[in-house]
């Protein structure tokens, strides 16, 4: 789905665009790549926060420890 997006870059964004297009890379590719990279960082950050919350949850930690004990019992067979 192709769509045109217009934005007004501030000075910092303009400098970033200038740096990233200095080698001839089109502005549209630079912006697309930056959005994809930002989305990936955002998703990783969300997952990291979820993992940290689970690691800090004593109920979840207790359940995970029990599962590991149960798995160890099965391994003996």
Q: Enter the pTM of the model.
A: 0.69
* pLDDT tens digits, one per residue of 6-26: 999 999 999 999 999 999 999
* pLDDT tens digits, one per residue of 17-64: 999 999 999 999 999 999 999 999 999 999 999 999 999 999 999 999
Give the start-to-end residue ranges of the domains of the chain. Answer: 27-75
Residue pair 28/17 in contact by the 8 Å Cβ criterion? no
CA–CA distance, 61 with 41 (Å, rounded to integer): 27
Measuring CA to CA, how many Å separate 56 from each of 28, 30, 62? Answer: 42, 39, 11
CA dihedral 64, 67, 68, 72 (to 10 degrees): 170
């Amino acid at each position: 789905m192709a769509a045109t997006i217009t934005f007004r870059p501030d000075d910092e964004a303009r400098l970033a665009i200038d740096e990233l297009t200095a080698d001839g890379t089109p502005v549209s590719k630079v912006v697309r790549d930056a959005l994809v990279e930002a989305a990936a960082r955002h998703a990783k950050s969300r997952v990291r926060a979820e993992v940290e919350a689970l690691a800090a949850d004593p109920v979840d930690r207790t359940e995970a420890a029990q599962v590991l004990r149960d798995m160890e019992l099965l391994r003996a067979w």
